[in-house]
Protein backbone atom coordinates (compact mmCIF):
# COMPACT_ATOMS: atom_id res chain seq x y z
CA UNK A 1 0.00 0.00 0.00
CA UNK A 2 2.87 2.35 0.80
CA UNK A 3 4.27 2.04 -2.72
CA UNK A 4 0.88 2.94 -4.20
CA UNK A 5 0.78 6.14 -2.13
CA UNK A 6 4.31 7.01 -3.20
CA UNK A 7 3.43 6.31 -6.82
CA UNK A 8 0.37 8.61 -6.69
CA UNK A 9 2.25 11.29 -4.75
CA UNK A 10 5.12 11.05 -7.22
CA UNK A 11 2.71 11.45 -10.14
CA UNK A 12 1.17 14.52 -8.50
CA UNK A 13 4.56 16.13 -7.90
CA UNK A 14 5.55 15.43 -11.46
CA UNK A 15 2.44 17.16 -12.89
CA UNK A 16 2.32 20.06 -10.41
CA UNK A 17 2.49 23.41 -12.16
CA UNK A 18 2.86 26.55 -10.01
CA UNK A 19 0.02 29.04 -10.62
CA UNK A 20 2.03 32.21 -10.01
CA UNK A 21 3.39 34.08 -7.07
CA UNK A 22 1.65 33.36 -3.76
CA UNK A 23 -0.64 36.06 -2.38
CA UNK A 24 0.18 36.84 1.23
CA UNK A 25 -3.02 38.51 2.39
CA UNK A 26 -6.67 38.86 1.48
CA UNK A 27 -6.14 42.59 0.88
CA UNK A 28 -3.48 41.87 -1.74
CA UNK A 29 -5.77 39.31 -3.37
CA UNK A 30 -8.59 41.87 -3.55
CA UNK A 31 -6.27 44.53 -4.98
CA UNK A 32 -4.95 42.09 -7.55
CA UNK A 33 -8.49 41.12 -8.62
CA UNK A 34 -9.47 44.81 -8.88
CA UNK A 35 -6.42 45.52 -11.06
CA UNK A 36 -7.39 42.78 -13.50
CA UNK A 37 -11.03 43.80 -13.84
CA UNK A 38 -12.09 45.45 -17.06
CA UNK A 39 -14.90 47.95 -17.30
CA UNK A 40 -17.11 47.56 -20.33
CA UNK A 41 -18.75 50.72 -21.57
CA UNK A 42 -22.27 50.31 -22.94
CA UNK A 43 -22.45 50.72 -26.68
CA UNK A 44 -25.14 53.07 -27.93
CA UNK A 45 -25.85 54.09 -31.51
CA UNK A 46 -24.45 57.52 -32.37
CA UNK A 47 -27.81 58.85 -33.54
CA UNK A 48 -29.54 57.98 -30.26
CA UNK A 49 -31.35 60.94 -28.76
CA UNK A 50 -31.38 61.45 -25.00
CA UNK A 51 -34.75 61.68 -23.27
CA UNK A 52 -33.66 65.06 -21.87
CA UNK A 53 -33.24 66.37 -25.42
CA UNK A 54 -36.78 65.23 -26.31
CA UNK A 55 -38.34 66.94 -23.28
CA UNK A 56 -36.37 70.14 -22.65
CA UNK A 57 -34.46 72.90 -24.41
CA UNK A 58 -32.42 75.71 -22.88
CA UNK A 59 -32.66 77.93 -25.95
CA UNK A 60 -34.20 81.36 -25.35
CA UNK A 61 -36.58 81.12 -28.33
CA UNK A 62 -39.40 78.58 -28.56
CA UNK A 63 -38.01 75.29 -29.79
CA UNK A 64 -40.71 73.20 -31.47
CA UNK A 65 -38.50 70.09 -31.49
CA UNK A 66 -38.95 69.60 -27.72
CA UNK A 67 -41.99 68.90 -25.60
CA UNK A 68 -41.31 71.64 -23.02
CA UNK A 69 -39.31 74.67 -24.25
CA UNK A 70 -37.65 76.92 -21.66
CA UNK A 71 -40.18 79.75 -22.08
CA UNK A 72 -43.06 77.39 -21.36
CA UNK A 73 -41.33 76.03 -18.24
CA UNK A 74 -40.71 79.57 -16.95
CA UNK A 75 -44.43 80.34 -17.17
CA UNK A 76 -45.54 77.22 -15.25
CA UNK A 77 -46.49 77.23 -11.60
CA UNK A 78 -45.08 74.78 -9.05
CA UNK A 79 -47.77 72.13 -9.70
CA UNK A 80 -47.23 72.30 -13.47
CA UNK A 81 -43.47 71.88 -13.09
CA UNK A 82 -44.02 68.98 -10.73
CA UNK A 83 -46.19 67.21 -13.33
CA UNK A 84 -43.60 67.82 -16.07
CA UNK A 85 -40.80 66.42 -13.92
CA UNK A 86 -42.91 63.40 -12.91
CA UNK A 87 -43.60 62.71 -16.59
CA UNK A 88 -39.90 63.07 -17.39
CA UNK A 89 -38.75 60.73 -14.61
CA UNK A 90 -41.39 58.14 -15.49
CA UNK A 91 -40.07 58.19 -19.04
CA UNK A 92 -36.46 57.89 -17.85
CA UNK A 93 -37.05 54.99 -15.45
CA UNK A 94 -39.91 53.07 -17.04
CA UNK A 95 -39.55 53.40 -20.80
CA UNK A 96 -37.87 50.86 -23.03
CA UNK A 97 -34.59 51.86 -24.58
pLDDT tens for each residue of 66-75: 899 888 999 9
**pLDDT tens string 33-79:** 777 676 667 676 777 778 888 888 888 777 788 899 888 999 999 99
* Confidence (pTM): 0.48
- Convert 58-82 into a string of H (helix), E (strand) and C (coil): CCCCCCCCCCEEHHHHHHCCHHHHH
Domain spans of the chain, in order of start: 51-94
Contact 32, 21 (CB under 8 A): no
Amino acid sequence: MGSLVQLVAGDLRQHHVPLGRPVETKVEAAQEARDHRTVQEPVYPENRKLIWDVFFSTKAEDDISVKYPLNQLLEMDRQGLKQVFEEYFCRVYFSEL
